[in-house]
Every structure is written in structure tokens, then in C-alpha cells.
Copies of this chain bind each other. A is one copy, B any other.
Amino acid sequence: MARLVLKFGGTSVADIDRIRNVARHVKREVDAGHDVAVVVSAMAGKTNELVGWCREASPLHDAREYDAVVASGEQVTAGLLAIVLQAMGVNARSWLGWQIPLKTDDAHGVARIGDIDGSDIIRRFEEKQVAVVAGFQGIAPDNRIATLGRGGSDTSAVALAAALQADRCDIYTDVDGVYTTDPRIAPKARRMNKIAFEEMLEMASLGAKVLQVRSVELAMVHKVRTFVRSSFDDPDAPEMSDFDNPPGTLICDEEEIVEQEVVSGIAYSKDEAQISLRRVADRPGVAAAIFGPLADAGVNVDMIVQNISESGEATDMTFTVPSADLAKAVDVLEKTKAETGYDAIQSEAGLTKVSVIGIGMRSHTGVAATAFKELAKIPVNIRAITTSEIKISILIDSDFTELAVRRLHSVYGLDKV
């Protein structure tokens, strides 16, 4: 017998029929003798509708009122799933954030989870009662509803799993796991059985949109074993009852991954733009003078490359921003030219960042060289490179995205056999 938190997203609860399907997944785990808490999102489309009304009411709106409006979507789903579960003979009740209580800070609209009191829910596990928890919401210190920001139900689920000391947090979604790369552009992509928290964090933030980044961070900090699986699988298929090895991808501590590959996956992010500042004065404080105003303007700067200057007087500074922010970034840079004292701005949109990710890199050399060689064979021009302990990111022209991803996927031995 285990303790499980199951989380179902908006497409999984889009209507009553889909909610019935979710209930069958829940019932399967209950029938197997597990303690179950379920975290649900709003029915697909509902959150957008509610957010749209808030914007129509006023483009600038009080985040506390936004929270009261938008959190209602999850409230509805929680009640409906409890009703369906009861109709199937499963003891269940809904819990809203303020009822648990799931406490947050006071950053309404983008609140962070503080303390969760799981004692009531755990007590009811003894009566085999399933807790159906409205995701995405908690209660702030002002006794008002706070939401966790878009996609926050993943975070709710992981935080609840930590509070309940659950054995696993199963995230049911519209994909059946985490792949070595995007299967839409690389048909040989494989579903991973396991991936380390750190790797998933890189995959998530690099555009593999399976899980919210914050939820993975939280899972890593609290060591919550998090399992990504499909809500579209038949709930009663025989392989679904294989508790220790159902279809999907387990995100876990690296120690739990016995056969660690050197490279685990290839991620990519399109719509990047590159900005180069020519002959920037090479003196202390200049980087702050460039990136401070960009941050203030809400521009998300990513790869930063600065060469050592020959003369010691001036250097070139290159970095990337999302294509959508390019015009704003250039505008900010031109306005601050006096402080930064560069000669010229050059910029280019239509670029892609391809990333090679793997915890094994820490103990293997030559991983980067393999990537560079493979890209040279195509040939693809490398515009910028950044590296971390477990990741190499390479900026290339977007035209080569698919080709580069497929070739890197292949050269690191990730292709499906």
C-alpha cells in the first residue's frame, strides 16, 4: 500500500465524460489499496474564459480579485470529480485551498506555497476517503484566495505530495511521458523511463513543456518522486496496474537511476534573437549597465557571451532574447547608449537554441566536441555557445532546427532501436 497524489490537467477534465475517465484512474489506485489525493485543474478553456473576463473588466486589475475569479475554475472541477467518484462508490470529498489550508505568501496571482496542513486529509485516509483538491490555489495571509500562476496545479500537486509524504506524485497529462527530444520533429525520439530532477529542470525550462519549471524545482528540493503519464491511457489496461512500472517517465533523484546515460535528451527553443554590442568599453560595471535596464524592462536575457578584448579597452558582447522582445531590447539599449558606450548594435531574429542535456556530462569529457563536430558535418554555423555542468546550448539558424536536433539525437545514441 502506498500513498499517492494524482494530478490531472485541464484537457483531462474538459467535460463530464473526461472527468469520469479520470475517476476510473483514481478508482484503480483506490481499489489497489492506496491512499489517494487528487489535484485537479480547471476544465479546459475555463481559466482562459475567467482571465478574459478579468481583462475585459479592467486591463489593470487587482490581483486579489483576479484570484477570487480565476480560482473558481478548479473549485468546480474538484466538486464535480468528487460527485463522479461517489457515484462510482468511492468515498471522496473536495478540498479548496482555504479548507486544507494550503497557505501561500501574499503575492496574489503568482503566489508561492508556504505551509500545507495535510493532517485532515491524512486522517481521512484512514476512512479510505479520497481527497479531491482544487489545484492552483491557496489562502494568503490576508485570508483571501491566492493563485499560484498559470500551470500552478503541477506545483500544488508536488507540494501536496511533499506535505503528505506521498510515495509518488503522478502527473497525468496529454503526453505519455518525457521524451529524449520532441517526437514531432525527431520520430526516433524515445520515452525515458527515468530522468533526474536536474535534467528535467533543463528540459522543462528549455521548451519541453511537460511540467511547470517551479513544480520540478519543488520536486527536487523535497525529493518528490514525480511520474509523468497519460490521462488518455485506458485506466483499466493491464499495464496500468503495474504499480512500480506503469507507462510513463519517473522524475527522480539521480541516485535512483542505475544506468545513467551521458546524454539524456536534446531540447530546443525556437524564436530566439541575438543582439551583439560592438566595442563595448571593457571596464567594471559595464555588464550591469547593459543588463540592468533590460531586466527592468522585463526582457528575459538568456545566453550571454563576452570575449576577452585584445586591446584591453573594448570588447564585443553578445546575448540572446526572445524574438518577441527584440524590438523592446534594442530600444532600451539605444536609450542607455551613453552609459554603456558601445559603437554599434547588431541584431538578428529567427534563431534557435539547441541544448544537449545529461547529468553524465559531469564525469565525461568530449561531449561538447561531439556536438560541434556533428553540426560541422551538416554544415551548420554555430553563432554562440554556453555551457553548464549538465548542459551545452548552441545557437544556430532556425532553418536547421529539425536537422540539428535529429543529428544530435542520433550521435549521442538516443535513437529508438
Contact = CB atoms under 8 A, between A and B. Distances in A.
Contacts of A19: 57
Contacts of A143: 99
A62 B82 contact: yes
Contacts of A83: 54, 57-58, 61-62, 65-66, 69
A94 interface: yes
Given A61-B86, A86-B62, A94-B65, A16 B80 contact: no
A164 B312 CA distance: 74
Nearest to A84: B57
B87 A76 contact: no
B80 A57 contact: yes
A361 B56 CA distance: 53
10 contacts: A16-B57, A57-B83, A57-B84, A62-B82, A62-B86, A66-B79, A66-B83, A68-B78, A69-B75, A69-B76
Q: Is the interface of A mostly helix, strand, loop or mixed?
A: helix
A interface residue count range (under 10 / 10 to 19 / 20 to 34 / 35 or more)? 35 or more
Given A53-B76, A68-B78, A72-B72, 17 more contacts: A16-B56, A50-B76, A53-B80, A54-B83, A58-B83, A58-B86, A61-B87, A62-B82, A62-B86, A65-B80, A68-B76, A68-B94, A68-B96, A72-B75, A75-B75, A96-B145, A98-B98
A236 B61 CA distance: 25
Given A98-B98, A99-B144, A144-B99, A54 B80 contact: yes
Contacts of A76: 50, 53, 68-69, 72
Contacts of A93: 62, 64-65
A145 B145 CA distance: 14
Interface of A: 16, 19, 50, 53-54, 56-58, 60-62, 64-69, 72-73, 75-76, 78-80, 82-84, 86-87, 93-94, 96, 98-99, 143-145
A132 to B, nearest CB: 9
A390 to B, nearest CB: 43
Nearest to A94: B68
The 9 lowest CB-CB distance pairs between A and B, nearest first, are A69-B79, A58-B87, A72-B72, A68-B79, A57-B83, A65-B79, A16-B56, A61-B83, A65-B82
A140 to B, nearest CB: 12
Nearest to A81: B57
A87 B58 CA distance: 6
Contacts of A99: 143-144
A16 B57 CA distance: 6
Nearest to A20: B57
A56 B60 CA distance: 37
A313 B80 CA distance: 57
A255 B65 CA distance: 43
A93 B61 CA distance: 12
